[in-house]
Amino acid sequence: MVYCSKCGVKLQEDDEFCSNCGTKASKVVKEEFEVAADYLIEKVKELLHEGNVTRLIVKDVEGKTLLEIPATIGVVGALIAPWLAALGVLTALATSCRITVERKK
């Protein structure tokens, strides 16, 4: 899924402009990592600190979405703590997770 970088509205993959605010839609590149639950929090912190991440999606090995972190949260350090606390709970439930990282091209 692609979201508008200005207003957050969900866009179609082939949209060139946001239908809500008119902002030019940026292309998004997706990467996927598989990590053990023990290293999930460290990997998420590392990815958020890279700065060019627009969205992180944490899924279990079956593909069920466990947590979705928008980029606006990653920008503000104080707001990361609740997300990391939620990730801590998820590590108790899963043995392995897939992290999908969306970056602006």
Which residue in this structure is represented by tokens 């839609």?
A: 25
CB 6 within 8 A of CB 71: no
Given this model, what pLDDT does residue 55 score? 81
Mean pLDDT in residue range 72-95:
61
Instruction: Assign domain 27-104 to a CATH class.
Output: alpha beta
Sorting pLDDT into bands at 50, 70 and 90, what band is 89?
Answer: low
Q: Residue 89 burial (CB < 10 Å; 0-12/13-18/19+)?
A: exposed
Domain boundaries, the chain: 27-104
Sorting pLDDT into bands at 50, 70 and 90, what band is 83?
Answer: low
Reported as a single tens digit per residue, the pLDDT across 1-34 is 677 777 878 888 778 888 889 888 877 788 898 8
Distance CA 13, CA 69 (A): 20
Strand locations in the chain (E): 2-3, 10-11, 28-36, 53-60, 65-70, 96-104
What is the percent of the chain with per-residue pLDDT over 90, rounded to a whole number? 0
DSSP one-letter code for 51: S
Please give the single-letter amino acid code of residue 57. I
Identify the CA nearest to 99 among candidates 49, 41, 50, 52: 41
